[in-house]
A and B are shown apart, each in its own frame.
Chain A
Amino acid sequence: MTLAAQDLSIGVRLYDVSLALETGKITAICGPNGAGKSTLLKAFAGLLQAHAGAVNLDDSSLATLHPRERAKRIGYLPQAHEIAWDIPVRSLVELGRMAHGDTRAEPVDAAIAALNIEPLQDRRAQSLSGGETARVLLARVLAGEPAWILADEPLAALDIGHQLALLRHLRAAADQGAGVVLVLHDLAHAMNYADRVIVLSDGRLAADGEPEAALDVSTLQSVWKVDAQWIGADGKRALIAR
C-alpha cells in the first residue's frame, strides 16, 4: 500500500513535492519552522486541496475518495491537544470508530490496551495530564485501525519519559504493518527512531532517505544553518553544536 504525493504544490507552503510513503515503517518529516512540514502532513491526510499535483492513496486520488473511506484508512493526529468538552475517555477513544459507523468494543479495547490506558477509561478527558492526553488521543487514532497513522509533532510538550513511551507505541504500530508518518522537531528522535527521514526546506524536498544520510552534517548546515555534529553510537545519537 502506498500513500504518494505527485508534483504536489499547495499555496505558498509547498512546491512540487513528489514522494511515496511506505507502510510498516516510521517516516519522519523534518525541517525548520515554516518549511511546510505540517502542510505536507495535512495534505497526506487529505485535509488540504492541492493547487497543483495530487496525493494518491494506492491507485485512487485522495481528493476524489469519499471522506469516510479516507477516514477508515488514514488516521490523523494534529499537534494541538484540543478537547472542547469534558467527555469520558472511553467515548473519546470510540470517536476513532466514527468512519466505520460503529463503536465495536474489540478495536477500542485493543487500542486502549496498546497504550496502557486501561486505568484512565473511566476518567473524564479534561482531568488528564499532558502525557495521559497524548496517549488517549493516539488510542483514538488506533481504534480506527487505519493503515496510515499521521501525527503532527506528537512528542511536543511531553517529557522525555512520555516521549520514549509514545515512540515505542508508534514503533509497535509500524511493526504491525501501519505506515507511521511523524512531523518531528527533535532531530535526534528522527535519527534514532525513524526508518526514513524526509527533510523539507522552504516548501521543497531537501533530502529523503535513511536517517544517517538525510540528516548528515551538510544538510544540517544547508537547511537549518547550524554548525553541529552527531555524537554517540548507532541508535543512540545526540546532536551537539560545534
Chain B
Amino acid sequence: MKKLLLSLGILSLIIASVPLGALHAETPYEAYTYNYYSDSVPLPAPFVPERQVSGQDLGVGAFRDPGDVFVTSDGTVYILDSGNNRILRTDSQWGRAEVIAGFENEGREDALRNPQGLFVSDDHAIYVADTDNNRIVVLSPEGELLRTVESPESDVLPSGFVFFPVKLTVDDAGRIFVVARGVYEGLMQFDEDGSFIGYSGTISVRQTFADRIWRMLATREQRSRMQLFIPTEFSNLDIDTKGFVYATNIDTHAQTPIRRLNPSGQDVLKRFGYYPVMGDIRFRQFGNNSGPSRMTDIKVLDGGIYVAMDSFRGRLFAYNDEGQLLYAFGGKGTQLGLFNIPAAVERVGEQLLVLDRGKSALIVFTPTLFGRTVHAATEYRYQGDDAEAVALWEDVLRMNANYDLAYLGIGKSLLMDRKNKEAMEYFKLGMDRKYYSLAFKRYRREVMQEHFGTFMTTAAVLIAALVAWLIYRKVRARGKAHEVGAL
C-alpha cells in the first residue's frame, strides 16, 4: 500500500512538471499593463524565459561584468564582455563563441579597457565605446582595427574635457551618436570620419517653484554651496530603421525618460496613450522600492514597437509607436527570467535577450501566443492594415478581454467599414473618447438622415399643437376677463 502511494506521488510530481504549452506558461513574474484609470491590469505573459546563456555555455569562460550586447539584422550576436575586455561573437543557436580580444594598432598590440558600449553595423563593422581608453574603436569583422575616434577637439568643449564614451549607435550614413559620461549637453555626434559635429537632443533643465524660492532666500555663500541645476545625462540609446535615435535618461522628476530624437535633435516621440511614456505610473512615493522607473536601455523592434528596460525594478516595458503601453513584465530575483542587474536588452528574431551583469548571463525570452499576436496586430496597425489586424485583435481579446488596445484596433476597423454603431461600442470599451465622438457623429447623422421625415412631421405637429394651445388659452383668458368685467 505504501509503495503504491509513493509511486502515485512520484507519478503526480512527474505530471506536474510537464510544461503545459506556451499559453499557460508559468513565469516568475506577472505581466501587466495600465488601463484607462491607471490601474495595473494583469496580462497573460507576453514572453516566457527560455534559457540562460552564460560564458561557459558558449565555451569561452565566464563573463565578467558584461556591459552590452548587440544583434545584427542577420542574427549574429555580439556580446561585450567588459570585465574581460573582449568581444564575443556567436549566433542565435548559441554555438561556440569566437573571441575578439586584442588588435594591432600602428604596429603595437592594443586592447580594450573596460568597454561599455557596442554597436555593429549591417556589414559587421564593430563599434566599441572603449570607455577607459577614452576612445571609440572601430573593428573589422575579423577583429582588425579600422580606425579609432579619439577625444574630440572643439571650441564648444570645456578645457580639461575627458572623453568617456559609454554607449553608442551609428546611423546609415555612418554618423556616430555617443552617450558620454559627464556630458550634460546631450548626445555627442561624430561624422563618418570621426570628427566631432556637435550635440544632439539636449535635455533642458527645469527649476521647480520651490527651488526658485529657496535660491531667492539663500545668501551668496549658501547659493554657491547648493547643488547645481544641471540636466540629466542620457543613459542609453538605439536607432530605428528611419534613422531616429531613441534615447533614455534617468530623471526622477520628469515624465520623459524616453525620447525619440529627429535629425535636428528634437524629441518627436508620440505620447498618445492615456498616460506618460515613463514605465511604471503607479509606484510608492517613499520607502523601499519607491520612485519612478529608471530606464537604462531601449531597443526598437519592428512595427514601431520599442522596449525600454527599467533596471531599478528589473522590468521591460513595450510601447507601440503611439506611446501606448503594450505590456510590462519582469522583476528582480534569482529565478530564471528574473534579473539581478540588467544591463542591456536586445532582440534576436522574435526573441528578446536581456544581458544580466549580476548573473553574468544572457536571458533568452520567447514570445507566447499572446505576445506574438499582440506584436503581429500592432505591426499591421502600424502599416495601416487595420482590416488585417482585426482578426488578430479578436484573438487577443479571446486570450485577454481586458486589453484596451484590441478594442481600439477593432473599433478603428469598424469605423473604416462605416459600421458606426458597432464602432461606438468598441471605442467605449477601449475608453477612447476622440474616436467615440467621431463614430457617434457619423451614427447620429445616419439616424437623422434615415428618420428625417418622421422628425419633421413630429416637429410640425408639436409646433401646431403649441400654437393651438396658446390660442386656446388666450381665447379662454379673454372670455374669463369678459365674465369678470360683466360681474
Do chains A and B interact in one complex?
no
